[in-house]
Amino acid sequence: MKHAFFIWPVASLLVFGCAKPAKQAPSLVAKTYGTQIIEQSGGKQAAGVGGKLNDPIVVQVNGADGNAVVGALVSFHGEGMGFVPSQALTDDNGQVSTVAQLGGIPGNYMVVAETPKSGGGAASVNLREVALGYQEKVGKQISEKYCTMCHDPESTPERVSNFDNLAPPQPHLFSDGSVLNAMSDSDLTKIIADGGPALGKSAQTPAYRATLSPAEIKAVVAYMRAISDPPYQRFPAPFTDRPGPR
Amino acid sequence: MRAHTPLQRIWEFFVGTPARRFASVSILLAIVASIAPTKDLFSEWRHYQRQYRGIISQHPDAARLQRRFQSGIVQIWIPEQHVVDRCPTCHVALKEDNLSYLRKEPFNPHPQTPHSLTEFGCVMCHHGQGAATTVEEAHYSTKAWEQPILPGRYLESACGQCHMEELEGTPQLNLGRRLLARYGCAHCHAVTQPDGSLIKPIDEPPSLEHVAEKTSREWIYGWLKNPQAYAISSTMPNFRFDDQQATDIANFLISQSTASVNSLAAPPTNVPLPSEAVAAVDGAGLYGTLFCVSCHATQNSRGNLMGGELAPELTRVGSKVNPEWLRRWLRAPQGYDPKTRMPRYRYTEKEVALLAAFLLGKKDDDFLKNVQLGTSNPESVARGKKLASDYGCAACHRINGVNPPEGFAPDLSRVGSKPLFQVGFLRGMPETLPDYIFGKIRDPRAFGPALKMPSFMLTDKQVEALTTALLAQTDRAVTMPQELVRSATHAKYHPGGDAGRLMEDLRCQTCHAINSNGGDMAPDLTNEGSAVQRPWLLEFMKNPDTLRPALIRRMPKFNLTPAEIAQLSDYMMTAYQASGFDSQALDLHTLDTKAAARGKELFYAKYACQACHIADYKKDKGYVGPALADVGDRLNAVWIYKWLKDPSAISPGTLMPNPRFSETEARDMTAFLMTLKARKKGAAK
């Protein structure tokens, strides 16, 4: 009889103490299956750390015949990221759209959109998004004020792009990693501070040394590096704990 | 006594004799006494510090990093600001910039911000519990501590605790504060900022005292039911009135309306309205050349808004206004609403008729298609009056017989520190203050159908910005030492005298800032008298033209009389003078043709100014800065010279970089620019 005294409280403590209120979103079941998933839009966006991306991520599931598949299950993953919704069935156009929220650490984020295949396994597509830290955000603001009207051919009614008005050589997009990744930080700093002629380039890039502070110029360079496509590799293995060269 | 059961045997073993009893209690005591040190030994912060030491031991710069590493509990203590932050105990690498590649919390370095860590600590900006030494207690809401870490996307709210002025680095906070003022939140909610100033609404909702002259009962009904169905850009919120309520309010508003000054004035004989075909072509042309679009937007066929946001959208204005009212308004807006920002244009009667016909053609028959209101009756009017006072209509609009309510909605001065026990969360929403404020602004009625707060048509980004602005209203901000608080400057400059009255009549400051007071759509006029030449100013006011090829908005034509133009020019040339722009600053005799030739060379080759400016319309295409093709007629040489020497000294925040011209270069460039004059018809070449 005496055992019962101990066993019941201990057992009930164990049972109730360990049980967590399980609250899981009801997981969707695929109605159909595709063989391929492709990006429609939403990749290569930049937003502040912890912020939502401006435009939704849209992916499309295609079948073996190359046509869009309606009712296929798509799920989104990304380390440190949040998605609303995180999984959904493709709509009448075979597409799924989700709003992504970036994690709290600046840098590149990889979004993986996945759809199961009928025979098991899954097709997936990767999208790269960029979270801008404080410095990169400052750089973005400065570049939008002083730089983009010449460096970005996309014009707005408010500020028509000056890109097309310039004599050759034409300016590079700040995300143009194929060219800018090859330039060192000090070269970029120099061209911003002292203008194109400082590196023997076009005088159409004016000198900003007297307009921007060194910290602001550093911020612009940091922003260019952050949005660079292909990504700028400051260290050989940026995602590991291994220290890079100094 | 014999031991029967195992339990009794254990009992005997531990407490059977006094010696055993003493030993047991001693051991128990030793165990109890060692609990605290053991817990400390296995504490989270020791774990992180061990991990960090492991990481930096691999680093090429290990010796330096180890020297800078401080083990044990580390705290930032600033007594005068009540800061005791132990965050650096785990966040050991906050100052190690070259570890940023790790991307691993808690070892991320802190970004370079305008404030140093030792100046303000961590919690002042990030919230959380500074004195805590466990992850749970420092970052999350616990029973003893409600304020968790502020999510990254609302971090700018922290800046708003001290900074009332617009900071360049906080676009989200600035937007939030502007929305608080623009969407009229501050009409109902008092928001006292830490410097004691109230957030003032800037939306200027129209007076309804004479509304019956302007529009119909049916339109008011349709508008109340869904303001955005009439104008997508409207800031009027949706109160979700049912049909009866909307009818009652419409009946009441019509019944309280009185005659405006405009309607009492004897009308000039009306020029007949031109035909629809003429209005559609000539009217559209006139609407364009008068630059109505600088302030008023319309939706184009694709549903995009085109035009300014200073004034109401006109997409469906023909479905709203009474034609007679429209003409009176175009002649003298201030006679209907003395507080309107619309200038009094000097339109001719023919222009008024053409504009009115064009605007009346902007109709959307669908908007009021199904609106059938019965005849108004006194009961309905009485119900409408009660609704108008219940829902606080008079907090925004002037209405006869309904006084503006006082303390109508909760004071939001300290909403950023609202205790969570006072918050009624919705089921399923994350129980944090930012999520609550966000949810409440996005869909107020979800928190209770009887709540009075209406729904505002805001995007998630806008709601996030508003939440950021409100989260800045913390208890800490109120108790902050006053020397840390940075107030925004509120300039009250208004021009004086007869010319000042004329400028008020033309509402110059709707678009132009003068002595820091006024709009930002058009150039600042504070130093205009020093900058420009009088003949150019006269010509410009007679026939305004934009200086910047890329701008679609520009100064409208006011049809001023020569006397008015002369009066305005004289006033501006004398009152808006900056100091140090006299001939002392530059010897004009040095600006000869040789200097001009050297300046031209500098302009085109060394500095490639043509990338942004047009000096010659035939060759240059630069679209960023103002066109300079006739700058020699427009600006004073001294002004140009001083501008070239340091543009941001004259106009802080200007896009023009300072190319750091030498003394001679600046003089040569000035000489060249002064040669750029418009070729007048009939003038000798």
Domain extents for chain A? 36-132, 134-153+169-227
The average pLDDT across B600-623 equals 86
Token pair of B83 as six digits: 């800061």
- ipTM of this model? 0.75
- Residue of A109, A134, A135 for testing the chain B interface, max B β-carbons within 10 Å: A134
pLDDT at B250: 94
Question: What is the identity of the amino acid at B431?
Answer: E
Whether B1 shows a pLDDT value over 70: the answer reads no
pLDDT band with cut points at 50, 70 and 90 for residue B34 = very high
Distance CA B192, CA A176 (A): 46
User: Which residues 448-487 on chain B approach chain A with CB closer than 8 angstroms?
Assistant: 460-461, 464
Residue A182 CB burial class (10 angstroms; 0-12, 13-18, ≥19): exposed
- CB-nearest to B101 from A48, A209, A235 is A235
CB of B626 less than 8 A from some CB of A: no
> What would the pLDDT profile of B317-343 be if each residue is shown by its tens digit?
999 999 889 999 998 888 888 888 888
pLDDT at B399: 93
- Positions in chain A whose pLDDT score sits under 50: 1-2, 17, 19-24, 236-246
> What would the pLDDT profile of B417-470 be if each residue is shown by its tens digit?
898 888 888 888 888 899 999 999 999 988 888 888 999 989 888 999 999 999
Contact A203 B612 (CB under 8 A): no
pLDDT at A32: 86
pLDDT at A26: 57
pLDDT band with cut points at 50, 70 and 90 for residue B472 = very high
Q: Which residues, listed in sequence order, are joined to residue A37 by a DSSP beta bridge? A: A61
Instruction: Tell me the CB-side half-sphere exposure of residue A45, using CA atoms within 13 A.
Output: 19
Q: Which domains does chain B show, CATH number per domain?
A: 6-41 (no CATH), 60-149 (no CATH), 171-202+412-484 (1.10.760), 211-382 (1.10.760.10), 497-575 (1.10.760.10), 583-674 (1.10.760.10)
A46-48 and A122-132: which strand pairing?
Answer: parallel
The average pLDDT across B534-562 equals 77
pLDDT band with cut points at 50, 70 and 90 for residue B685 = very low
Name the CA radius of gyration of chain B, rounded.
34
Contact yes or no for B319/B367 (Cβ under 8 A):
yes
Question: What is the identity of the amino acid at B200?
Answer: K
CB of B605 less than 8 A from some CB of A: yes
Distance CA B253, CA B245 (A): 12
Q: Is residue B342 helix, strand or coil?
A: coil
Token pair of B680 as six digits: 């007048």
- CB-nearest to A234 from B101, B461, B464 is B101
B297-299 and A122-132: which strand pairing?
Answer: unpaired
pLDDT at B684: 37
Q: Which residues of B touch A243 (CB under 8 A)?
A: 58-61, 99, 101
Q: How many CB atoms lie within 10 A of CB B608?
A: 22
Find all residues with CB under 8 Å of A182, minimum gap 6, and list them: none
CB of B53 less than 8 A from some CB of A: no
pLDDT at A243: 37
Contact A105 B105 (CB under 8 A): yes
Whether B600 shows a pLDDT value over 80: the answer reads yes
Tell me the H-state helices in B622-662.
631-634, 637-645, 647-650
Among A246, A105, A239, which residue's Cα sits nearest to residue B59?
Answer: A246
Contact B105 A135 (CB under 8 A): no
- CB-nearest to A50 from B7, B102, B151 is B151
Contact yes or no for B97/B497 (Cβ under 8 A):
no
Among B417, B452, B622, B480, which residue's Cα sits nearest to residue B196?
Answer: B480
Q: Which residues of A touch B659 (CB under 8 A)?
A: 195, 206-207, 210
Whether B197 shows a pLDDT value over 80: the answer reads yes
pLDDT at B481: 79
Q: How many CB atoms lie within 10 A of CB B425?
A: 14
- Residue of A152, A162, A163, A164 for testing the chain B interface, max B β-carbons within 10 Å: A162
Report whether CATH 2.60.40.10 matches the domain A36-132: yes
pTM of structure: 0.81
Using alpha carbons, list the distances in angstroms from residue B331 to B211, B335, B560, B646: 18, 9, 14, 44
Q: Is residue B610 helix, strand or coil?
A: helix
Residue B565 CB burial class (10 angstroms; 0-12, 13-18, ≥19): middle
Q: Which residues of B touch A51 (CB under 8 A)?
A: 152-153
Contact A234 B98 (CB under 8 A): no
Q: How far is A117 from chain B (nearest CA, A)?
A: 33
Q: Which residues of B touch A138 (CB under 8 A)?
A: 169
> What would the pLDDT profile of B507-540 be if each residue is shown by its tens digit?
888 888 888 888 888 888 888 888 888 888 888 8
CB of B580 less than 8 A from some CB of A: no
pLDDT at A246: 29
Q: Note the residue count of chain B.
A: 685
Q: Per residue in B502-517, is it b (16+ CB within 10 Å) or e — as a string? A: bbeebbbbbbbbbbeb
> What would the pLDDT profile of B104-151 be if each residue is shown by its tens digit?
788 888 887 888 888 888 998 899 999 888 888 899 888 788 888 998
CATH of A134-153+169-227, one of 1.20.1740.10, 1.10.760.10, 3.30.420.40, 1.10.3720.10: 1.10.760.10
pLDDT band with cut points at 50, 70 and 90 for residue B546 = low
Residue B500 CB burial class (10 angstroms; 0-12, 13-18, ≥19): middle
Contact B103 A105 (CB under 8 A): yes
Size of interface A-B (CB pairs under 8 A): 114
A73-77 and A87-89: which strand pairing?
Answer: antiparallel
Using the 8-state DSSP alphabet, how is residue A65 labeled?
A: T
Nearest CA in chain B to A207: B659
> What would the pLDDT profile of B454-465 be if each residue is shown by its tens digit?
999 898 889 999
Q: Is residue A239 helix, strand or coil?
A: coil
Find all residues with CB under 8 Å of B15, minimum gap 6, and list them: B21, B24
Contact yes or no for B125/B155 (Cβ under 8 A):
yes
Distance CA B590, CA B595 (A): 8
The average pLDDT across B79-96 equals 88
Distance CA A26, CA B650 (A): 63
Name the CA radius of gyration of chain A, rounded.
25
> What would the pLDDT profile of B567-598 be if each residue is shown by its tens digit?
989 898 888 888 877 767 777 777 788 888 88
Q: Which residues, listed in sequence order, are joined to residue A129 by a DSSP beta bridge? A: A109
Contact yes or no for B612/B625 (Cβ under 8 A):
yes
Contact A107 B61 (CB under 8 A): no
- Helix H, strand E, coil C: the string for B8-47 is HHHHHHHHCCHHHHHHHHHHHHHHHHHHHHHHHHCCHHHH
Among A244, A204, A49, A3, which residue's Cα sits nearest to residue B604?
Answer: A204
Nearest CA in chain B to A234: B101
Contact yes or no for A49/A133 (Cβ under 8 A):
yes
A87-89 and A95-101: which strand pairing?
Answer: unpaired
